[in-house]
Amino acid sequence: MTRRRITQRGLYFEEFDEEAVYVHSPGRTVTEADNVFFTTLTMNTQSLHLDAEFSNRTEFGERLINSMFTLSTLVGTSVAQLTQGTIIANVGLSDVRFPHPLKAGDTIYSETRVLSKRLSKSRPGQGVLQFEHTAKNQHGDIVAVAIRSTLMQCTPGDS
């Protein structure tokens, strides 16, 4: 028996629904190791991420997760569901904010809304999407929000 093959992919431009909220799974529990590895890998020597004694004396009382790790994880959690194999390029990020700190042991849960979509005027078979990505911790506190513009493939043969 020949079985039908199904390959996971993101959505094509036409499949995105501006009325939907895309909930991404699984969540991602963040560890101290994640923070130290990412922080040192990216050469961000901010003491708030690396120096426990310094951080203990701040208003937070402990090290915080590097906000760029938070942003990267927020966008990354959406890939399998939305853009895996269907994105052409990230066009830009804007309005990035971190209203609540993320700490080691917190779990990120994320969701995405489509803010706008339009066919590309200069690139047939492609469209521009603007996403609003939101990450919350296990308590429901918003830890990151970002607007991301992407260039996406249209459904093959539909353009």
Domain with residue 130: its CATH number is 3.10.129.10
The tokens 């005027």 sit on which residue?
A: 121
**Is position 65 within any domain?**
yes
Query: Each residue of 87-131: pLDDT tens digit?
Result: 999 999 999 999 999 999 999 999 999 999 999 999 999 999 999
**Is position 158 within any domain?**
no
Query: Each residue of 35-94: pLDDT tens digit?
Result: 999 999 999 999 999 999 999 999 999 999 999 999 999 999 999 999 999 999 999 999
Q: What's the structural domain count of the chain?
A: 1
**Is position 2 within any domain?**
no
**pTM > 0.75: yes or no:** yes
**Is position 3 within any domain?**
no
Nearest by Cα to 83 from 23, 155, 22, 11 = 11
**Residue range of the domain that includes 134:** 18-153
**Is position 11 within any domain?**
no
Contact predicate 153/88, CB 8 Å: yes
**Is position 4 within any domain?**
no
